[in-house]
Chains A and B, each alone.
Chain A
Amino acid sequence: MSNADDVPMMFRASVSGRCQLQYIDGNRNRDTESDIERWVSEWTIAELPSQPPTLSQHQSDDTCFSFQTIPYCITWRFVSNSGADPTIILPVIGARGFPYYPGSSMKGAFRQACNKIFPDRVVYYCGDRDSISPGILRFHGGYPTSNTWKNNLIDLAHPQQGWQVKNLDTRQKDGGAFVQISLHQPELKFGISSAIDLIGAEWQDIWQVWRVALSNGIGCRVSAGYGKSTERAESPLYKVTLNGQGVASTLLDSTPEFRPNIFRAALRGHALRIFGGLSDEDTAESLVKQLFGGIHNGTDWGLLSIGFRETKPFRWEKYGRYEMPYYEVKGELSWLLTQSVEDEKEKALKSLVNHLMQFSMLLGGFGRSWRRVDHRKFYPDEQYEKLIGCHWTWQKSLFLSNDPDDQLQAVGQVIDRVLNVAQSWMQRCQLELVHDHPAKWREAWCRDRAQVWGRVADDEGDSLAIKWFHQGYDEVLRGRKFVPTKQLKGTAVAGFTGNQDNPTRIGRLWHRMYPVTERIVRADGRQGFRQADQYLELLTFFPDTKGEDSKQLTEYLNRPKSPFTRLW
């Protein structure tokens, strides 16, 4: 009798039909578990004790050493790759099957942070390789403090850089989903002990070093926001509070999740578009790799990493007939330098990040459905119960004037400033601008490929383009009614969700309702901002020179009576 099917997934061969953790069948129905789901459920239903090993305090009276533990929360996800399975990133599994942050990783992160704040104590705390002398500290790693680590373990990432920015034909989508196992918002209890007796003040210093390590991020993928604690970073390169709402991303089991790596993906994509407009493909790629890191053609450690601290926690509700998840979140986004660079370069980088953030906020959103405005907010059709789009705001103004029309006219200058800063960054990197041979990508940001159109909308019900997407545009009077004569819905310009025979396409239009913000002087004399009723309705258009739909829209926008003005 063969009992091969009873063998746990952890011990199966990584072949089709036995255990392929990376493979997720897109056409599976909800009743069939994918291999990764089965792997996780086998791991988590094991009869674990209710409390994980606690890194229990030293119990004996002998004062041979002192032992301290402190729990810290991780803001989003955390993973430290065990290397146990070459096909997939899995956490290190420690005693009794609990996920575990190894002491070796902890020591490495501590040493790095200690180098920053107490460089003269690194050898004392962590030992010296040259003289092979041990340090006084032992790093015991970290265990989750409760069994909530079992929730939301399956972590899906969809690398979309090629699809979103480069591919001329978006029916072709490469990559697909990659899966890994990471812990979702765990509280981890970390242990440090000392081989000699230490006074309280010394312990405070030691834990201060550890907090710095935590604010830099622990485990892997920290540049994308993994492994960051709620401890604030001391001096981020850039910091801003953002409000977001819209349709939420979901996990494999349809649980909504807010994924802070969307900010990194957005800026990375925009950087690629902008550098791709200023230079050729290879130059643009290498610039982006230098900023955000990458592993193709040699490994590069990116200069930038993000952290996101929710100040109003991610909340979601089911909306409409399709019960789609609608979220709201508020938080502090920070961009951090991963390594020290000379002051001038840091200043330039600060400016680059600041301008890329302006570009992102002005023209689009973040995360799922970022090219569209939040339909729940801007599409006042009561019959319409589907969720599309997102809406992001901040307490900042990109413009000097409070007048909406002036602001609209200044949009082009904002974009030009972003391009200037990107050019200076390239010159700093001693790279040449190649204006005549931009990257051959769909969304390379150059004059003959990207257009920005805009108008002032009086209030949130006054979005014109959103109606174009649903009902069509270029209305003519037929009888007593204005009837649209051209359609956007389902065209290559608008994009659509497809199926196997007619694959999904990304459209060529970004639609944004950027809130008009007024500068005000508060009663206490400090400068503040107030959101006005109006919005700048902005369309970013990458026309396809060969496509009929693109031609039609271009012609319409260019008409003298067009409601939109070309801004860039």
Chain B
Amino acid sequence: MEFLLLGSVALYFLSALGSLSFGRRSPGGWIVPLSSVLSSLMAVLPLVSVLACGSILDFRVPWGFPVGSFHVRMDMLSGWFVLILSLVSPAVALYGRGYLSNRGETVRGSWTGFFLQMLSGGIFMVLISYDGILFLLSWEIMSMAAFFLVMFDHPREENRRAGWIYLVATHLGTAFLFFMFFLLGAKAGSFDLDSLLGLGGMANLVFPLAIVGFGAKAGFLGLHLWLPEAHPAAPSHGSALMSGVMVKTGIYGVLRVLAMAQEWPQWWGWLLLILGVASGLGGVVHSVVQRDLKRLLAFCTVENMGIILIGLGIGVLGTGYDRSVGVIAMGGALLHCLNHSLFKAGLFMAAGSVIKTAGTGDMDWLGGLCRTMPRTGTAFLVLCLSVCGLPPFNGFVGEFLIYTASYLTVVPGAMSSVGLRIGGFVAISSLALVGGLAAMAFLKAYGMVFLGFSRSDGAAKADPGSDMVVPMSSLTILCLVLGLAGSASILMAGSVATAVHPLDLSLGSLTPLAEVSKAYLNVSFISFVLFGAGFWLWRLRARLQRDRTVSLGPVWGCGYGNPSARMQYTGSSFSQPVFAAFRSFLRSEVAGSLPEGYFPGPSIFHADTSGVFHRYFYGPLFGTVMKVVGEARKLHHGGTHLYVFYVFAALVAVLLWSLR
């Protein structure tokens, strides 16, 4: 088992090198997808033994470094996230082959393959490292591989800027993680996670560090700045892997810290909940007003991280009062991690297909692709329904769990603590609002890209090849299957959630999850019945229309018989109500001129929503840092006599200190 697990990781790194060595030749294109598929197949047995049988795979060898050791372990929590990686990674690799083909750039293709596999391998290592030093090492491999993917199209200036922002963000996060691990390691005398159990009594100091460190990777609101920059810049399969899986390592880190802590103070739950509400609402409001498809998806990732955090928050809060609520919400958060990976990776792939065939990702220049790219259009439709958490697709299952847990907190029962009830109250209202606005974002995304008239001549000619459609469709089908088999996935996620719980768990704690899972059978049942009813109505419709005149004509335009694509509603107009309602939050800069006079000339409208945090927090912060650093530069003007003086001063200082 351990051998298979290590082989599966090693294969990623080997295929990365393989992609470099053979990538210039045509068969090299197959190395990356094949090895990813093989890797996932190798991981099947270990995953089954961990997730289904509850065994723990552990492998440890000392290494040459003075600190740490090569200690790898896969338990339930790691296994769950490895499962996510193993599902998404092959699809991404296969898609990448199609996405990079006929770009006439085999060199870049081979490098992209290299970094893609390094990223997958790095994520894998992060998930199974059971030693602080090894963890940080893997964390850096993962972060740097992602950086090079963001820089894929480096000749364009905005991409270099995106890469730069990402680099700063990720290293700010890593700095906090270093601090956290060294605090823990110094106290415990070892970096092995086993010896850090209970967080050495520094739990309340470690937790905020973990939130900032892991939050920078997961894109919590305030630490999310790199997401909307980096995802559009990376090649689409890179964004799919980053947004689908890499971002989840941040969530994994938070969960790992929770699992290591022996008990969870209440304020952790509140912190997670408030962060979740902020990320959810902030992410979704920004998402609605984006013009660029991939930026919209990136902000939507922030929003979904918010939903996951709300689940974690209720989970941690609920644990203090009533175990069942905690387990249900945790299960919901974990399940939403899996689901979000599937549909977000699929959505990025669909967006990549659109960008590749239509040549732009700007929604105000797209439209009508449903007719030229039917397969991509249908897949995107299903993925939109999933991401909005609509039944019967998989997004609904995770949200259903988190909602149910929140509802359980307000219903009087074993616990009637006011604090917990307020928590549930906040969770329900924000989840509902986030859900509604997310629907708006995706109505816009799908409607503007795939429906109506094409808004520019450069719109797509045809569906991309099957090597791009197949991986996307397979994720789409997974979304439907996991949604219809929601009861099973609830039980799966539930068993992982119980493993994270700090309490000593008996088998009895699974009963609330079993109840929810049983309740969900009704949802699947109703879905099937409604599918049948819909099919019957569709048939009825066809039969009634069979012998009548059904003709085509122009749509109603108030008597104006010559509508053009330019007169269509654009994405910007569609999101105007949200734009207006959240004006004070978005702080957009709007410039433009209305048509005036009897013979109006051209009019212009331009809105820039760069985000509040850029302008009001990070701008001033980095400005101050620059000032301070600029002052410090004066100490270092290059004159030798100054340095001699420094040496002398240091000597004197040391002398004085030793004479104390």
Q: Are A and B physically bound partners?
A: no
Report which B residues bind A (CB closer than 8 A): none
